[in-house]
Amino acid sequence: MSLKLCLVLVVAVAVGFGALPTLSLAANPIVTENQQPGTGQWQIPNAGFQLADDSSNQIKGYTSATSANKGTPLSFYVTVNPAQTFTIAFYRMGWYGGLGGRLMLTTASIAGVQQASCPTIDSATQLLACNWSASYTLMVPTSWTDGIYLAVLSNAQGYQNYVPFVVRDDARQASLLYQQPVDTYEAYNSWGGKSLYDFNSSGGRANKVSFDRPYEQDGSADYFGWEVYTVQWLEQQGYDVTYGTDVDAQATPARLRTVRGVLVPGHSEYWSKGMFDAAQGARDAGVSLGFLGSNAVYWQIRFEASSRGTANRVIVCYKTNEPPNPTDPITATNPTLTTTQWRLDPINRAEQTLVGVQFTSQTGNTWDDTVSYVVTNSSNWVYANTGFGNGTSIPRLAGYEADRQFAEYPKPTSQPGTAFLLANSAFTNISGVSDVHNSSIYQAPSGAWVFASGSQAWAWGLARPSYTNAGIQQATKNILNRFITSGPPPATPTLTPTLTATLAPTPTATATPTPTPSATPSATRTPTATLTPTATQTATPTQTSTPGATPSATATPTLTPTAAQTPTATQTPTATLTSTQTATLTATPTPTLMPTATLTAIAAQSATATQTPTATQTAAATLTLTLTPTPSPTRTPPSPTRTPTPTLSGSAYRAAVLADSPVAYWRLGEASGTAAADQRAAHNGTYVANPALGQPGACSATLLPQWASTAQLRMSRLRTLPASTRLDSR
């Protein structure tokens, strides 16, 4: 039976400048996840509670690993003082309509114990580590979406504390990878009296610190300084982002090459050689890098195993260039692993060769002591549609640790005409010396782009109330969308899950659950997240622990779990298509503030006996996607090279289509009806209003969930193309 099909090809004609929305090669679980009910209960202390402190340790805890893959165990080591019951509530951080978190699971009451004090296990390095018994083991549900999680510990006497961790999805393809800077968390962590700093250590700094201990104060480390705003904004916008930590970059560096861009947020000061090599290798393979904070890659560290033999649980950093100038024992045999600043002897691997800029000085003594971000090279594509001009000053968005480009150190290798400084912000630093802040962009020979904000406060411009700036938001969209459209097609992840605890957990018997009180905003760290809590969460999920057993994966929340979104099944054409189609397709977004774009579509119809379009009888149509405002860049850098999509079996027409690396293309399988089957299997959807060939029709929100609601997709006058015509984006 002969069957005629209609194909629609969508490709960008204005790559860069925020032209394309977030892309993904599979359904985007971040969008689906953030449609779930949110809550403000993650902000502690809740009403009726107070924060535990680091002297009495009313309730404190840590995890067996900084992250865990879905479907694998993660143990929690908790102490209470005095012995009493406690619960753990697990929250995923995101947007959730502005509430910032989602309650995933609350345990039944656990019989807590006061764990042993944590000894100094190496007097030479002042390494302090705990050897606690596991109080609870979470078998991470496979239904959970990867992301940043906070476990809220609440004891019966009304004290609370956080334990942060990351849930990974090692099998998921994603556009972007968020690398949580847990090494820096631990370097500054002074719980127990020791950190890698003199200012908050008793009796001088340590040369080694361990992840086997709680974080100080409220337990959240630096997450609420800058990262909370980055995560909220990324997920509000619907970017297809997956999550990992510094330790994961060390343990499974290949993961960085499975995405199109790696994001290094906030304060990521401490890097191992393995991490540096992984990031540089990803860049040189075409993966873009976004340094959305400052002071990145400043100190070289090494990882060591714990006393129990668990790899990557100890951070080594002697800081040989700082008084009292200790000797790193490895220098004699392998000087390139010396734990000093990357830019100094004997490493001589300046961070700006990767990042583009590097730390210079502090704008002030506290996180809020920032200065104005001053724009330069405003015609660069990064600033398209921001409204910025040279000299535009954006208050309070540079610092508190500032980067600049140093003339005395090598610059990164870049393609001609792509390397620019994007900010030149003068300030007087905490030593009273005049200094300057720079942000930067360059394109590596591989085609990868590398952006550095040079400022931790960049994140505040994305989502922190009273700091939010529409121009900074637009610039970030321009950068991330360039990453997504210029990077190589992500490889299918084939990674081995990173390290998990090998110790037998000791869950305890259940007891009466501690009631979950209504939330009140917390003001425990500066700056804090300023989300407004909502009414008490209903249908609290529970997971019961059994003495002497590991909770199974079936002990999942009673709330409806969120799994990765499954594309609509392709429907086989069943009717003959005989006429030229003119249709109006309306795309409804899930995220807001998506970038502008002008898109071109190719519509073709042909008669075949195999349900595969041929190169004959093809027709072309123009399809436009218009958002407000329309891009008007004053400078266009060279367009990055894109790797063509592999040709699928079928006609020469299909090969021509796929050679242009389309975002998606659809075929109508019926003379009229609803099936809109994307042949890339990325954006399946349905048409509404029962469109027929030659009649107007609209596309439902399921087809293009990331694109803005103002987008109108229209096919206009058709013209016949020869079978040999190459279909491109112009």
pLDDT tens, residue by residue, 553-605: 333 333 333 333 333 333 333 333 333 333 333 333 333 333 333 222 323 33
Which residues have C-beta within 8 Å of that of residue 175, sequence separation ≥ 6?
Answer: 22, 23, 24, 239, 240, 241, 259, 260, 261, 483, 484, 487, 490
Which pLDDT score is estimated for 690? 53
Nearest by Cα to 288 from 63, 444, 425: 444
* Residue 634 belongs to a domain: yes
Q: Taking the CB of residue 363, how many other CB atoms lie within 10 A of it?
A: 26
- Say yes or no to pLDDT of 327 above 80: yes
Q: Taking the CB of residue 49, how many other CB atoms lie within 10 A of it?
A: 20
How confident is the model over 658-684, as a mean pLDDT?
47
Of 486, 516, 550, which residue is a domain's last? Answer: 486
* Residue 499 belongs to a domain: no
DSSP letter for 294, please: B
For residues 678 and 394, give the distance between their C-alpha atoms in angstroms, rounded to a whole number. Answer: 43
Same domain? 85 vs 173: yes
Nearest by Cα to 179 from 243, 127, 271, 241: 243
Percent of the chain with pLDDT over 90: 63
Of the listed ranges 169-178, 286-295, 681-690, the least confidently predicted one is 681-690
| H-type alpha helices, 209-351 | 228-237, 246-251, 273-284
- Say yes or no to pLDDT of 293 above 90: yes
Same domain? 303 vs 275: yes
pTM of the model: 0.69
Identify the three-state secondary structure at position 163. Answer: strand
Per-residue pLDDT tens for 192-224?
A: 999 999 999 999 999 999 999 999 999 999 999
Domain holding 197, by residue range, is 29-361+440-486
Angle at 690 between CA 21 and CA 693, to 5 degrees: 85
How confident is the model over 652-658, as a mean pLDDT?
41
For residues 437 and 83, give the distance between their C-alpha atoms in angstroms, rounded to a whole number. Answer: 51
Instruction: Phi first, then psi: give them for residue 335, nearest 5 degrees.
Output: -60, -25
Which pLDDT score is estimated for 407? 97
Same domain? 51 vs 3: no
Same domain? 225 vs 124: yes
- Residue 194 CA, chain-centre distance (Å), reads 30
Same domain? 14 vs 152: no
How confident is the model over 454-461, as a mean pLDDT?
98
Q: To the nearest whole number, what is the mean pLDDT of the chain?
A: 75
> CB-side exposure of 80: number of CA atoms within 13 Å?
22
For residues 107 and 76, give the distance between their C-alpha atoms in angstroms, rounded to a whole number. Answer: 12
- Say yes or no to pLDDT of 693 above 90: no
- Say yes or no to pLDDT of 518 above 70: no
Name the region of 422 (left: φ>0; alpha: ψ -120 to 50; beta: rest): alpha
For residues 405 and 100, give the distance between their C-alpha atoms in angstroms, rounded to a whole number. Answer: 35
Residue with more model confidence, 89 or 510: 89
For residues 595 and 405, give the distance between their C-alpha atoms in angstroms, rounded to a whole number. Answer: 30
If pLDDT is split at 50, 70 and 90, which confidence band does 486 have? confident
- Say yes or no to pLDDT of 694 above 70: no
Angle at 546 between CA 119 and CA 62, to 5 degrees: 30
Of the listed ranges 234-243, 444-453, 481-490, 586-595, the least confidently predicted one is 586-595
**Assigned token pair, 156:** 């019966």
Which pLDDT score is estimated for 662? 52
For residues 481 and 459, give the distance between their C-alpha atoms in angstroms, rounded to a whole number. Answer: 17
- Say yes or no to pLDDT of 7 above 90: no
Per-residue pLDDT tens for 152-172?
A: 999 999 999 999 999 999 999
- Say yes or no to pLDDT of 527 above 90: no
- b/e map of 523-542 (b: 16 or more CB within 10 Å)? eebebbbebebbebbeebbe
- Say yes or no to pLDDT of 89 above 70: yes
Same domain? 342 vs 289: yes
CB 516 within 8 A of CB 46: yes
Same domain? 110 vs 124: yes
CB 517 within 8 A of CB 290: no
Same domain? 47 vs 12: no
If pLDDT is split at 50, 70 and 90, which confidence band does 506 have? very low
Whole-Å CA distances, 287 to 175, 177, 449, 643, 694? 10, 10, 8, 12, 43
**Residue given tokens 């994603």 in the structure block:** 174
Of the listed ranges 186-200, 387-401, 505-519, the least confidently predicted one is 505-519
Number of separate domains in the chain = 2
Residue with more model confidence, 526 or 691: 691
If pLDDT is split at 50, 70 and 90, which confidence band does 684 have? low
Q: Going edge to edge, which strands form the sheet with 712-715?
A: 584-586, 712-715, 623-624
For residues 322 and 307, give the distance between their C-alpha atoms in angstroms, rounded to a whole number. Answer: 28
Which residues face 361 on adjacent strands? 402
For residues 388 and 375, give the distance between their C-alpha atoms in angstroms, rounded to a whole number. Answer: 7
Strands 299-304 and 270-272: parallel
Which pLDDT score is estimated for 11? 27
* Residue 607 belongs to a domain: yes
Nearest by Cα to 96 from 32, 31, 34: 34
Per-residue pLDDT tens for 29-67?
A: 999 999 999 999 999 999 999 999 999 999 999 999 999
Which residues face 168 on adjacent strands? 69
Same domain? 591 vs 479: no
* Residue 204 belongs to a domain: yes
DSSP string, 288-356: EEEE-SBSTT-EEEEEE--TT--TT-EEE---TTSTT-PPPGGGGT-GGG-SSBTTSTTT---THHHHS
Which pLDDT score is estimated for 27? 76
For residues 238 and 29, give the distance between their C-alpha atoms in angstroms, rounded to a whole number. Answer: 9
Same domain? 462 vs 473: yes
Which burial class, exposed, middle or buried, applies to 51 when counting CB atoms under 10 A from its CB (0-12, 13-18, 19+)? middle
* Residue 109 belongs to a domain: yes
Which burial class, exposed, middle or buried, applies to 192 when counting CB atoms under 10 A from its CB (0-12, 13-18, 19+)? buried
Of 486, 518, 543, which residue is a domain's last? Answer: 486
* Amino acid at position 6, single letter: C
Element (H, E) at 29: helix 29-33
**Assigned token pair, 108:** 């039944």
Nearest by Cα to 134 from 507, 499, 552: 507
Same domain? 166 vs 40: yes
* Residue 369 belongs to a domain: no
Sign of the dihedral defined by the CA atoms of residues 558, 562, 563, 566, in that order: positive
Element (H, E) at 422: strand 420-428
For residues 500 and 137, give the distance between their C-alpha atoms in angstroms, rounded to a whole number. Answer: 11
**Assigned token pair, 581:** 């189609």
If pLDDT is split at 50, 70 and 90, which confidence band does 495 have? low
* Residue 411 belongs to a domain: no
- Say yes or no to pLDDT of 374 above 50: yes
Identify the three-state secondary structure at position 23. Answer: coil
Nearest by Cα to 540 from 37, 33, 30: 37
Of 423, 455, 486, which residue is a domain's last? Answer: 486
DSSP letter for 361, please: E
If pLDDT is split at 50, 70 and 90, which confidence band does 288 have? very high
If pLDDT is split at 50, 70 and 90, which confidence band does 488 have? confident
Same domain? 477 vs 583: no
* Residue 649 belongs to a domain: yes
For residues 423 and 391, give the distance between their C-alpha atoms in angstroms, rounded to a whole number. Answer: 9
Sign of the dihedral defined by the CA atoms of residues 221, 227, 232, 234, in that order: negative
Residue with more model confidence, 679 or 710: 679
